[in-house]
Structure 1
Amino acid sequence: MSLPLRIAVVGAGPAGIYAADILTKKDDQLTVDIFDRLPTPYGLIRYGVAPDHPRIKQIIVALHRVMENERITFHGNVHVGQDVKVDELRQFYDAIIFATGAERDRDMQIPGEHLARSYGAADFVAFYDSHPDREQTWDLRDQKSVAVIGVGNVGLDVARILARTGDELLYTEIPPHVHRVLADSTITDVHMFARRGPAQAKFTPVELREMDHSPNVQCLVVPEGMEFDQASQQALADSKSLRMVVDVLSEWAMRDEKPGPHRRIHLHFLENPVEVLGDEATGVTGLRTERQELTGDGTVRGTGEMTDWDVQAVYRAVGYRSEPIDDLPFDTARLVLPNVEGRVLDLDGAVLPGVYATGWIKRGPVGLIGHTKSDAAQTVAHLLADEPTLARAPQRDRAAVRELLVSKGLPVTDFDGWDRLDAHERTLGEPDARERMKVSSRAEMTAIAGARG
């Protein structure tokens, strides 16, 4: 009889946890260790979802049930590829699944995009979600109008957070330093720019409607961009969800701007940003866009008509990218691990035995969280099919890997530690009747997680 599989999963977000769940359900003998460079699990749900999205954050309840499985072990504060090499893990595991996601911004490759006050959306998301490894200072003062490039779900989140007042978010998990920045904001207008038309929008009806829920924010659509060609009409006929999106946008396009001390979100379709205006001394002073026209097949082309918009900051929400993992090949064009249906390939295109990928590091940052489960199922199916050919790791004691990590001086956290941190954050939120208040310091999180009662 062959030895029960020992599997490592690198990345404790939904992709990695779904893979661990499917593995333990498919094989009642194997064990899984999940590694994450952060001291906490849940990845994108904790550090990529806007704080005013409690419905999405409830996915953590289901993920928590998976992590409680006694055959799944969590090792936090471990950066695979740096703190521990991939080859070192191969001494303990028969296969490794990489689920490290995508949390950095893609470049737009337009002039001026790296001027001061031109931000990647991922950086702003990391700020308002209090990511412990990212910038935790921000300045929204001395700005009246700002631009958000891109109208996907991330762009909507960024625009909504920029437009809402700090006090509106006091019911959420944001810590005091995030509240202070939002409370000090002088922004009155957020302009969102989409290169294509409304029928090519990628956001969901729920995400769109949530933009308009604040009594302090009015959403407006510039009517000139509400154009539809033959491909647009066909897309609307094929998708009820898209029809719902366009119905909302059409309603907003007919609105009159209401007076009052509130903020406005303006959606501009068929406007392609071609340059961030400004200079090294002053930073962003504007955004230049080129008017687009629909071609009939769902694509657009430039008209040569340029418009300069008076904005004092730009937020680029044009997509995320994954980062290379030390000791593994990387597809620099697609920005993923090279793979075929989750089996990772070497630089010559041959399958790397025992190395797999799932989630955004496998297929790029597309799709909703729910798509990650079927993606993990595909990868796991291939891994289990490969079981007869997998070389068994020499070290099979489940405690041995923890001993290695401790010997390296790593402040490793475990899942019991997450429960302690979770309880602490909930206690912080109680005085203000909040579900929790997030701790943002890695050192503080690690200390709380490591504390014993």
Structure 2
Amino acid sequence: MRHIAIIGSGPSGFYAAEAALKAFGPEVRIDILDRLPTPYGLIRAGVAPDHQSIKAVSRRYEAVAKDPRVTFIGSVEVGRDIPLSEVRSVYDDVVLAVGAPEDRKLGISGEELPGVFGSGAFVGWYNGHPDFAKLSPPLDTPTIVVIGNGNVAIDCARVLAKTAAELASSDIAAHALSALANSALTDVHILGRRGPYQASFTLKEIGELGELERATPIVQPSDLPDAEGDAALETGQRRVVEVLRRFAAAGPDPAKPVKIHFDFFHRPVRILGTNRVEGIEVARTQVDAAGNPTDTGEQRILSCGLVIAAVGYRSSPLEGAPFDTRGGRFANDAGRIDDGLWCVGWAKRGPSGTIGTNRPDGFAVIDRIKTEGLPASGKAGRAGLLAMLKQRGIKPTTFADWEAIDRAEVAAARPGAPREKIVEMAKLRALCSA
């Protein structure tokens, strides 16, 4: 029997488990560990609450979790509750699927001021992640700056700009819905160092900004390259630029009180303020033929009371696993860290790709385990792990516990919403039988 521990219950962890079930058949036992009692990782706490169709993939993960060869072991943090070395001692293979939970820093002065948040923290706040439920971002400001030109930046801007009615059918956390409904917002600025040709928005994300009830997207025509250059773009990027051109041609809608400004070719220089954010100094940039930005010498100051940095993420180092500090991920060779130690998803390649990208990634690593991994050696697996946790007085939670949480959240949902998330760890644990 081969015993595999997968640390992390997000998409990459579940796709790896699915692959292992297919690769090893009846001769495998898989334990999926997570520090929270709730599985699904970014599907629950990262995907925008108004994108319910994407969250539906959790039904596929549920089928994996209910396979008799799989056990979900929640409320266990490897590295805190139990060392990685001890987990490795009782499993043939350990797969790190811990994602990239840390926000990358901007690296500019003033980013430690109150009112500056990484997008991971801000998204966690409105998605009801227990770590960020008490974040309390200052929404008493009319102007908010979002730094970044990817889908996460768009998500943050869209959630900020939507009305309470538009968010009512989502699973946004109640505390966030209430705070956003009472915000003083009039302007959101989305800052990017490069231009429309280099932006990493997807068509769906950018298109949604043109359909908001109270907000209108604004693109400066002067920021758009000559249209004849569009033909050289890949299809997806060309369509994104087409939408941006439509926004520029339409201009602001005077009937909509909130403006979403695309500030292309702007680099954050420093964040200003004394006791909280009061503004941000930005430098105007230009890009060369390779898309690399350089400053033009022009600078300006944007007054604002909240800054959200959507500039990427990093994995958290884990004792016993070599770490690539520069890349913000585990040092690995195509998923292999060491004999019996592997990584998948963002922990392997850094924060890139979509949720679906994790499936072939997970299958590829499991294929390496099957073809290149050490043979099963009679290790104790789950029984050994549970014995060590019991010695430490740690009571893990189960998938049945998650199902109890799920039922409680669904039962408490406001009209039209799929669930009302429970955001306090004590309340989550109270619903568990452990």
Category of TM-score, reference length = shorter chain: over 0.9
Matched, 1:438 2:417: no
> Structure 2 counterpart of 1:20, which letter?
A
Structure 2 residue aligned with 1:265: 260
> Quick check: 177-186 or 129-138, which moved more?
129-138
The partner residue of 1:363 within 334, 349, 360 is 349
Give the match's secondary structure for 2:422.
Answer: coil
Structure 2 residue aligned with 1:162: 160
Structure 1 residue aligned with 2:321: 328
Matched, 1:308 2:294: no
Structure 2 residue aligned with 1:384: 370
Deviation at 1:260, TM superposition (A): 3.5
Does the CA contact (< 8 Å) of 2:11 and 2:40 recur in 1?
yes
Give the match's secondary structure for 1:285.
Answer: strand
Structure 1 residue aligned with 2:151: 153
Structure 1 residue aligned with 2:396: 412
Does the CA contact (< 8 Å) of 2:216 and 2:256 recur in 1?
no
Question: Which whole-Å deviations, capped at 9, do the CAs of 1:300-347 have from their partners, x for residues lacking one?
Answer: 221111121122221111111111012222111111110000001xxx
Unmatched 5+ stretches in structure 1: 345-351
Deviation at 1:76, TM superposition (A): 0.2
> Quick check: 404-413 or 10-19, which moved more?
404-413
Deviation at 1:187, TM superposition (A): 0.9
After superposition, residues 315-354 of structure 1 pair within 5 angstroms as: 315-344=308-337, 352-354=338-340
Deviation at 1:252, TM superposition (A): 0.4
Give the match's secondary structure for 1:27.
Answer: helix
> Structure 1 counterpart of 2:242, which letter?
D
Give the match's secondary structure for 1:384.
Answer: helix
Quickly say closer, same or farther: Cα 1:261–1:218, change in 2 above 3 A. Answer: closer
The partner residue of 1:395 within 355, 380, 383 is 380
The partner residue of 2:8 within 4, 7, 11 is 11
Counterparts of 2:175 and 2:161 in 1: how far apart (Å)?
18
Give the match's secondary structure for 1:404.
Answer: helix
Does the CA contact (< 8 Å) of 2:8 and 2:33 recur in 1?
yes
> Quick check: 63-72 or 354-363, which moved more?
63-72
Q: What is the TM-score when the length of structure 1 is the normalising length?
A: 0.91
The partner residue of 1:427 within 411, 414, 417 is 411
> Structure 2 counterpart of 1:395, which letter?
A
Deviation at 1:393, TM superposition (A): 5.0
Deviation at 1:406, TM superposition (A): 3.2
Deviation at 1:212, TM superposition (A): 2.4
Counterparts of 1:299 and 1:101 in 2: how far apart (Å)?
28
The structure 1 segments of at least 4 consecutive aligned residues displaced by more than 4 Å after TM superposition are none
Identity of aligned residues (%): 37
> Quick check: 177-186 or 15-24, which moved more?
177-186
Deviation at 1:278, TM superposition (A): 2.0
Q: What is the TM-score when the length of structure 2 is the normalising length?
A: 0.95
Deviation at 1:237, TM superposition (A): 2.6
The partner residue of 2:239 within 229, 235, 244 is 244
Does the CA contact (< 8 Å) of 2:329 and 2:347 recur in 1?
yes
Deviation at 1:247, TM superposition (A): 0.6
Deviation at 1:267, TM superposition (A): 0.6
Counterparts of 1:254 and 1:372 in 2: how far apart (Å)?
38
Q: How many residues align?
A: 433
Deviation at 1:229, TM superposition (A): 9.9
Structure 2 residue aligned with 1:121: 119
